């Protein structure tokens, strides 16, 4: 039952907001001098940032950003910067402005964007981080082409020919909106290059490095402790190898090492014999690493002085716990990914709606 922060008055014949930008009178001199105009989402953003010394800053007057306001901004800067709020509504408004700008682009009229993270508006960002960090964001704006491509390409998986064709056609439709032939030529090439690089990147196979993993995390050290048990406890080697073969947390290199140990004849060999008989230098490094003092200090069962049967029980519990933790973590990450993607990203249907809204506005005009 709280009252709204402020109430937007309706347009009238005397006050037509779609043609005006809040604070332009105070901002235009600085904007012309610096050839830079920052466009925020609301009045309060302008007031807050102006108090921090950013003078060339404006905002729409409580309405959606319009073509008339964009053309007005271009009178004071050839490349204004749009920095709307970092929530889904702000991203949608930014993307709509990007598509809306295309027919009006010329070699002297461009547009760029700054994205605020984590659903933050400028005031929240300043309270969460600092003004210095905001300035760093402002110094690295996203060019129009890259902004459009990034947020449109994320709406489709692009893992099959149909989606690739649909998205390629969407890019063609976007380029078709550009009237200036020089801009159209370079933007088309840039879109196609970005598309090609994205497809090439998604098709790259994971080239696994055969270098020794750095045991910086606890799970890395735990894996080394399991390998140490294989070296130090002859009577349970086969049991531990079988446990690790069925585990879900080994990376490719560790899995290959366990397979090697499984196939090697280890029955009567000491730990040093196993290491010396190993021809693979990468495997030898891991085996030696597993016998370092820090591993046995963290995990006493890895020591050759520990009871073998108790070591087996300890490893069974450890493997079970790690598998459970990783499964739960995957579930949490999946839920978070879904939440984040739905909270502040566009989807394919949204892109179509934005195009329809812009086209509808053009027909009304």
pLDDT string in tens for the chain (365-residue length): 566 655 666 666 666 777 889 999 999 999 999 899 999 999 999 999 999 999 999 999 877 899 999 999 999 999 999 999 999 899 999 999 999 999 999 999 999 999 998 889 999 999 889 999 999 999 999 999 999 999 999 888 888 899 899 999 999 999 999 999 999 999 999 999 999 999 888 654 334 333 444 434 667 888 999 999 999 999 999 999 999 988 888 888 898 999 999 888 787 889 899 999 898 988 999 999 999 888 888 888 999 999 999 999 988 988 888 877 766 655 545 554 544 444 456 788 888 888 888 877 766 66
- The per-type count for the chain, helices as H runs and strands as E runs, is 17, 6
Residue 56 resides in a domain = yes
- 232 and 192 part of one domain: no
Separation in Å, CA 333 to CA 300, 330, 339: 32, 5, 10
Examine the domain organization and report whether 37 and 177 are in the same domain: yes
Which residue segment(s) compose the domain that 270 sits in? 218-327
Can you give the length of the chain in residues?
A: 365
Q: Which two tokens stand for residue 208?
A: 């696994």
Give the pLDDT score at 86. Answer: 92
The encoded tokens of residue 273 equal 């014999």
**Do 224 and 308 belong to one domain?**
yes
The closest of 208, 283, 204 to 252, measured between CA atoms, is 208
The tokens for 212 are 């020794």
| Tens-place pLDDT, residues 26-37 | 999 999 998 999
Name the domain boundary from 166, 201, 236.
Answer: 201
Please give the distance of CA 313 from its chain centroid, rounded to a whole number.
41
Q: What is the DSSP string of 132-172?
A: HHHHHHHTSPEEHHHHHHHHHHTTS---SHHHHHHHHHHHH
Judge whether 8 lies within some domain: no
174 shares its domain with 249: no
CA distances from 103 to 221, 248, 320 (A): 58, 53, 60
Looking at 172, 201, 230, the residue that finishes a domain is: 201
The answer to whether residues 130 and 188 belong to one domain is: yes
Place of tokens 């812009």: 358
Domain count, the chain: 2
Beta-carbon contacts of 195 under 8 Å, excluding residues fewer than 6 positions away, are 149, 153, 167, 168, 171
Q: How confident is the model at residue 353, as a pLDDT?
A: 85
Q: What is the 3-state secondary structure (H, E, C) of 223-234?
A: HHHHHHHHHHCH
Flag whether 9 is in a domain.
Answer: no
Does residue 187 share a domain with residue 252? Answer: no
Helix (H, G, I), strand (E, B) or coil at 322: helix
- The answer to whether residues 194 and 231 belong to one domain is no
Query: What pLDDT is stored for residue 11 in this prediction?
Result: 64
CATH number at residue 132: 3.40.1360.10
CB 122 within 8 A of CB 49: yes
230 shares its domain with 181: no
- Pick the last residue of a domain from 327, 344, 359: 327
If one counts every other C-beta atom within 10 angstroms of the C-beta of residue 129, the result is 16
Q: In a 10 Å sphere around its CB, with 0-12 CB exposed, 13-18 middle and 19+ buried, how is residue 194 labelled?
A: middle
Q: Verify that 37 and 175 share a domain, yes or no.
A: yes
Given this model, what pLDDT does residue 61 score?
A: 86
Q: What pLDDT score was predicted for residue 135? A: 94
CA distance 365 to 362: 5
In this structure, the answer to whether residues 190 and 225 fall within a common structural domain is no
Q: Cα dist. 147→81, 87, 98, 144, 271 in Å? A: 12, 16, 8, 5, 57
Note whether residue 222 is domain-resident: yes
* Same-domain check for residues 133 and 231: no
Residues 102 and 177 in one domain: yes
Report pLDDT for 15: 63
Angle in degrees, CA 95, 101, 107, rounded to 5: 130
């Amino acid at each position: 039952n709280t009252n709204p922060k402020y109430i937007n008055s309706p347009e009238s014949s005397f006050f037509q907001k779609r043609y005006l930008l809040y604070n332009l009178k105070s901002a235009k001199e600085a904007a012309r001098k610096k050839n830079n105009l920052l466009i925020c989402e609301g009045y309060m953003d302008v007031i807050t940032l102006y108090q921090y010394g950013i003078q060339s800053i404006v905002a729409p007057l409580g309405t959606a950003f319009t073509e008339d306001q964009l053309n007005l901004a271009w009178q004071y800067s050839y490349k204004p910067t749009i920095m709307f709020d970092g929530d889904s509504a702000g991203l949608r408004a930014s993307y709509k402005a990007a598509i809306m700008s295309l027919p009006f682009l010329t070699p002297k009229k461009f547009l760029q964007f700054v994205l605020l993270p984590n659903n933050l508006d400028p005031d929240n960002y300043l309270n969460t981080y600092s003004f210095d960090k905001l300035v760093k964001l402002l110094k690295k704006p996203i060019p129009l082409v890259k902004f459009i491509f990034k947020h449109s390409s994320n709406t489709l998986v692009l893992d099959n020919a149909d989606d690739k064709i649909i998205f390629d056609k969407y890019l063609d439709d976007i380029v078709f909106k550009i009237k200036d032939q020089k801009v159209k030529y370079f933007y088309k090439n840039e879109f196609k290059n970005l598309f090609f690089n994205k497809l090439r990147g998604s098709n790259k196979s994971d080239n696994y490095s055969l270098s020794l993993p750095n045991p910086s995390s606890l799970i890395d050290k735990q894996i080394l402790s399991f390998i140490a048990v294989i070296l130090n406890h002859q009577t349970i080697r086969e049991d531990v190898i079988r446990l690790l073969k069925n585990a879900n947390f080994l990376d490719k290199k560790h899995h290959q090492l366990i397979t090697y140990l499984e196939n090697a004849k280890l029955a009567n060999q000491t730990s040093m014999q196993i290491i010396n008989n190993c021809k693979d230098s990468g495997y030898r490094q891991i085996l030696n690493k597993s016998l370092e003092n820090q591993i046995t200090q963290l995990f006493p069962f890895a020591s050759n002085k520990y009871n073998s049967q108790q070591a087996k029980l300890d490893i069974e519990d450890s493997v079970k716990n790690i598998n459970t933790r990783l499964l739960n973590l995957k579930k949490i990450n999946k839920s978070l990914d879904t939440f984040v993607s739905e909270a502040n990203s566009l989807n394919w249907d949204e892109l179509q709606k934005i195009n329809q809204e812009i086209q509808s506005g053009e027909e009304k005009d």
